[in-house]
Structure 1
Amino acid sequence: MTEAGDVDTHHTDVLVLGGGPAATWAAIAAAEAGSRVTLVDKGYCGTSGATAAGGNNLWLIPPGPRRDESIREREAAAGGLTDADWMARVLSASWDRVEQLASWGYPFPVGDDGRQLRSSLQGPEYMRRMRRKAHRSGVRILDHHPATALTTDGDGVVNGANGIARQDGGRPWRIAAGAVVLATGGTAFLSGSFGTNVDTGDGFLMAAEVGAHLSGMEFSTAYALAPEWGTHTKGRMLQWASFYDEQGRPFPTERGLAGRQDAQRALAQGKRVFARLDRAPEHIRQTMRDAQPNYFLPLDKAGIDPFVTAYPLRMVYEGSVRGTGGLRLTGADCATTVPGLFAAGDAATRELITGAISGGGSHNGSWAIASGSLAGRGAAEYSRRRASGGEPVEHDRLGLRPGPRNAPSVDEVVRVAQDHILPPNRSHRKSGARLTESAAALEALWRDISAGLAPVPARDAYKPRQAVALVAAARWITAASLARTETRGIHRREDLPDLDDRFAHRILVGGLDEVWTAPDPVLPQLISAEAVA
């Protein structure tokens, strides 16, 4: 037993940070490879995060020529920034893993032809089974154990992490590991979007502190549409919507993505927008309800039949959770630019399969499955080859120690960071002038918190780190948005509305006290020479 204030320590082969689908797939894959695996989650593994709160559609294409067609279609829509090998890898891995999920007893619905319908997953049922499978695979799961910092050896190789046990009075813990998988999710800036309260960019911060690079952060400013009084965003439902203004006049748009874009454009201008799912054929309406019941529940409670009655919409910021940016990957094993550190799910950039556009639910869902599995196997192999983890080198990380008496509070810091990210005129519609203003304000905020934040209770010691992570992410998003002097995908510059072929490459970003950007030396790889932005 450890006394209060002592550091609870243990050793493992592979340490997984996170508790969503990417984290659990990584933990299971590492255990399958013969590693001792520990998973630590900020919340309760299986219930925290966007997937557990709702679910996923899947980019699931059977083997055959249709896969290449799907890759070409994605290339044509994704701004020319994707990697064909990665797309093929994700399609293959997710197909195989969903087959396994079915064999574990996941209750996929069955169509009229007797075949399972595997295009979507119900979040609670999915994550309940993933937690159970991880347990049965021998994974040690530590719930309510947020990680606060990565540790490295004297050569800068990641060898574990530190954190606190929230339900044990904030007792500090240290776990030494042969390799670490970051699957901590992206960042939605505490916008209130459904299930994203744990997605504060902690993994981005911890990785950057040990020298990791990020990519695609300018495409992290994704918004989705939800009923005006709700937070549940499911764009797939709105592909069947007709959109109306406040006077009931229909938008002159086609069904699908174009309609949603027009709705967001109007909302960003301060106008009210209404939707009715009247374009959905009668025979699929019950299937829509069965696939995403959480979307319909608040409408039903309000007495609204969305197939008949128009309901008001609002924009909800989902950041990199629905967007693209994250840690840069350097190989098919999901290794990052720092040895010993692997990334998966929303913590890793999805530019490789989504390019300059949102992955939506389907691509993101398959990315979590595939990247988690690949990262888990990669981390297991790295740990097996590694002679010794070495002693951890202590670092004084920003936000781990309280600041002076007049230091800003967590809430104050979070509000300032949000002010420069959440408003649509900061992220949905960007301009050089507003970005430059935000960059200056965020730099000043970074200097203000450099001596620390106001003290918090021991069990809340992770919250200052969350606030610091939000400021860091806001600075990276702003810097990358300034560096991409064009409009491409969901990166929209009002002052630079045209595509510029000189920027047909990914943009890297990193640094803490000094933020930097640079072109990615690895160019996009397209299978279709005619792929266009």
Structure 2
Amino acid sequence: MQMANSNIVDFPLPPAQENFDLNLVADVLVIGGGPAGAWAGLAAARAGARVVVAEKGYLGTSGTQAAAGTGAYYIKPDDPVHREGMVNSRLPIAFGFAETDWIEKVYDQSFINQDLMSRWGYAFPRTQDGNQERWGGLRAADAVQFLRHQLEKHGVTILDHSPALELLLADGAAAGATGWNRRTGKRWQVRAGAVVLATGGTAFRSGIAGGNNNTGDGYLLAVEAGAQLSGMEFSGQYGIVPKGSACSKTAVYGSATLTDAHGQVVSRGKGTTIAEIQTGHVFCKLDKYDDIGRERIQAGQPMTFQYFKRHLPIDPFTQEYEVEHILEGTIRASGGIEVGDGATTTVPGLFAAGDTTSREKLVGANQSGAGPATAWALASGSWAGHSATLFARKYGGDAATRKVAYAGTAGLRPTERARADLDVKALIAGVQDETLPVAKFYRRDGKAMSSALDKLDGLWRDARASLAGDSGLRGADYARSVVRAREAAAMIAAARWIFASAIERKESRGLQRRSDYPVIDDKQYSHVITGGLDQVWVKRKPVSGSAHLHARAS
């Protein structure tokens, strides 16, 4: 494993303009159309920028927010008691990485954004006394769909079903991207003064609701351009679901009786996870809800209870059913692209927002959950869009004419002859073998991780040398084969960065749980930064002086 940043790639020149079916020029290109991407596009457009948003699915219905819905934390203005409570509530479980000033900025911005939504006409639910209920009020797909309408009103160009497959660089700065439309098979290029990555995290296609498109694409795009990641070891986040379901809403199980295969009552969280690993089964009954609680939880978590109505026809409040753990990964954890003030990355002109970024300064080494994660999406999206607009005005005025180079590597531009026998499904299965099993990925062992990393390095070498789209296909079929190849490469890369970081952190802290280093070690109190393509590197970075080390045990 290399210990310094040697992320150097020879970038070939892009093909001629006529090789693209769609050529666009923008001040700001946003890649990803969840809440973070939508807010990035809105912030840029409201500041007067020409904006293009490229979304892998359909903006308004794709992604984990649209599939499940969740509330967004915020701080009430001029309410010091509420402010103190919101800032301090999660510090004890942040394990020393959260920063109070960062938390305040995020939750203040979250309030501003939700207030704007209210002013624009978004119908937040109301409590019995008639007040808006914002926490818990961003109801599933309608919130992101509402933001889509706002983007359209502001003249933003939306490219649906159009994943970005590689970034364009000009003199080391982000200068746009290219991709394919998966439905039409048309190839597109956007030259831009600045780029925002908002592609979400990854659960390695575990089956989590809305997570199929979250394959770590943003990580690969960022590192290919020269950015770095932080906290990728904090990724072993699992959610509880009814066995065979996909909607992991931990809040549902706050008033439940949970038992292992032997009938012993276990606690939610670590208790249920260990119970599944050790006994093979976990069972649940939602028997601690009163009548009002039943009404509220069903209204607040409709996806979970739809499963009971359509697929498991029982009364979960009186009847026992089996649950299991499903990987939520970096979608609900805290690792990702390292960003600074204004959602900047280490690459000029490249900004990042939402689940694709590190959230360590907000939630520390623990899971980002629901409320904090959504607040972060709203806040970081706004900051990224604003920062990208300012950068484009100052440096990106010649976006249409700059000499650009492609940054894409594995899955897109093989170094050797493409191999027809290199099966994308087999590559993804190889990654999932190392990342999905709760018995392997929840509590980690150094020797097992080293073995996994060796395997993943081999998969990367194969992908780098010989993985590409199926040249025997045409049109949309070919476009989808290119996208699948690129997704496989991104998942391999993400897993390598996770395991390299987890091997480097020789302790158990938050979501980093090691059987061979089971306690917190103060000597390990630093960020683990990673990157690199053909050779993964890791390095240490001091934790900010404004972080607060509260917890002393994992």
TM bucket by the smaller chain? over 0.9
**What is the letter of the counterpart of residue 326 of structure 1?**
G
Alignment coverage as a number of residue pairs: 522
Q: Is the 8 A contact 2:247 2:303 kept in 1?
A: yes
> Which amino acid is the alignment partner of residue 141 of structure 1?
I
Q: Is the 1:344–1:368 Cα contact (8 Å) retained in structure 2? A: yes
Q: Which stretch of structure 1 is more off in the superposition, 121-130 or 273-282?
A: 273-282
Normalized against structure 2, the TM-score is what?
0.91
3-state DSSP of counterpart to 1:485: coil
Q: Deviations over 1:178-212 (max 9, x none)?
A: 10000011111111111100000011001100110
1:27 paired with 2:41, answer yes
Q: Which of 124, 127, 142 matches 1:111?
A: 127
CA deviation after TM superposition for structure 1 residue 270, in Å: 4.8
Aligned to 2:479: 459
**Distance in 2 (alpha carbons) for counterparts of 1:57 and 1:305:** 26
Counting only pairs closer than 5 Å after superposition, residues 317-336 of structure 1 correspond to structure 2 as 317-331=327-341, 333-336=342-345
Specify whether residues 454 and 330 from structure 1 end up closer, same or farther in structure 2 by C-alpha distance, changes over 3 A only: closer
Structure 1 residue aligned with 2:173: 157
2:509 to 471, 484, 488: 488
Which amino acid is the alignment partner of residue 384 of structure 1?
R
- 2:212 is matched by which residue type in structure 1? N
Distance 1:300 1:395 in 2: 48
Contact 2:95 2:549 in 1 (8 A): no
Whether the aligned pair in 2 keeps the contact of 1:77 and 1:532 (CA below 8 Å) is no
User: Which amino acid letter does the alignment assign opposite residue 465 of structure 1?
Assistant: R
Mapped pair 1:228 → 2:243: yes
Q: Which residue of 2 aligns with 1:61?
A: 75
Report the more deviating stretch, 388-397 or 9-18. 388-397
Residue of structure 2 in register with 1:380 after alignment: 389
- Aligned match for 1:307, one of 313, 317, 320: 317
The 2-side partners of 1:316 and 1:82 are apart by 26
Aligned pairs (5 A) from 1:357-372? 357-372=366-381
Q: CA deviation at 1:247?
A: 4.5
- Structure 1: how far apart are the matches of 2:90 and 2:20? 52
Per-residue deviation, 1:54? 1.1
Structure 1 position 401, deviation (Å):
3.7
Q: 3-state DSSP class of the match of 1:219? A: coil
Rounded to whole Å, the distance in 2 between the matches of 1:74 and 1:99 is 24
Q: Verify: 1:36 aligned to 2:64, yes or no.
A: no
Q: Deviations over 1:468-526 (max 9, x none)?
A: 00110010000000010000001100111010011222211100111111112452523
Mean Cα deviation higher: 438-447 or 514-523: 514-523
Q: Secondary structure at the match of 2:308?
A: helix
Q: Which residue of 2 aligns with 1:442?
A: 456
Per-residue deviation at 1:317?
0.8
Partners of 1:410 and 1:454 within 8 A in 2 = no
Matched-pair contact (CA < 8 Å) for 2:260–2:276: no
Aligned mates of 2:249, 2:289 — CA distance in 1: 15
Does the aligned pair in 2 maintain the 1:407–1:453 contact within 8 Å? Answer: no
| SS of residue matched to 2:316 | coil
What's the % identity of the aligned pairs? 39
Of 204, 212, 228, which aligns to 1:197? 212
Q: 1:497 to 1:475 in 2, by over 3 A?
A: same
The CA distance in 1 between the partners of 2:545 and 2:339, in whole Å, is 13
Post-superposition CA distance 1:125-184 (Å, at most 9, x none)? 11110111111111110101110000101x201110011122222x22111101000001
Q: Per-residue displacement from partner, 1:249-288 (whole Å, max 9, x unpaired)? A: 433x4xxxxx222011111235211112222233222111
User: Does residue 1:185 correspond to 2:200, yes or no?
Assistant: yes
Q: Does 1:208 align with 2:223?
A: yes
SS of residue in 2 equivalent to 1:168: coil
- Kindly indicate whether residue 490 of structure 2 is the aligned counterpart of residue 469 of structure 1: yes
Alpha-carbon contact 1:238-1:260 (below 8 Å) kept: no
Amino acid at match of 1:495: D
Match of 2:285 in 1: 276
Q: TM-score, normalised to structure 1's length?
A: 0.94
1:434, 1:203 → 2: CA distance? 27
Task: Please tell me the residue identity of whatever aligns with 1:498.
Answer: V
Secondary structure in 1 aligned to 2:276?
A: helix
Greater Cα offset, 438-447 or 449-458: 449-458
Q: Counterpart of 1:85?
A: 101
3-state SS, counterpart of residue 16 of structure 1:
strand
Shift in Å, 1:5: 5.3
Residue in structure 2 matched with residue 293 of structure 1 by the alignment: 302
What 5-or-longer segments of structure 2 have no aligned partner? 1-15
Instruction: Name the aligned partner's letter for residue 380 of structure 2.
Output: S
Distance 1:260 1:468 in 2: 32
SS of 2:530's partner is strand
For residues 296 and 394 of structure 1, the distance between their equivalents in structure 2, rounded to whole angstroms, comes to 46
Aligned-residue CA RMSD in angstroms?
1.9
Match of 1:138 among 155, 171, 184: 155
Cα displacement (A) at 1:83: 1.8
Q: 8 Å contact 1:31–1:37 — kept in the other structure?
A: yes
Whole-angstrom CA distance in 1 between matches of 2:426 and 2:192: 35
Identify the residue that residue 5 of structure 2 maps to in structure 1: none
Counterpart for residue 13 of structure 2: none
How has the CA–CA distance of structure 1 residues 524 and 56 changed in structure 2, closer, same or farther, with 3 Å as cutoff?
A: farther
Describe the SS at the equivalent of 1:451: helix
- Tell me, what secondary structure is at the counterpart of 2:406? coil
Q: Which amino acid aligns with 1:385?
A: K
Cα offsets for 1:43-84 (capped at 9, x unmatched): 111111111111012223323222223322322111101122
CA distance in 1, matches of 2:21, 2:520: 53
Q: Which moved more, 1:3-12 or 1:475-484?
A: 3-12
Contact 1:82–1:524 (CA under 8 A) maintained in structure 2:
no
C-alpha distance in structure 1 between counterparts of 2:294 and 2:540, whole Å: 46
Q: Is the 8 A contact 1:122 1:292 kept in 2?
A: no
Task: Name the residue aligned to 2:12.
Answer: none
SS of 2:134's partner is coil
Name 1:410's counterpart in structure 2: 424
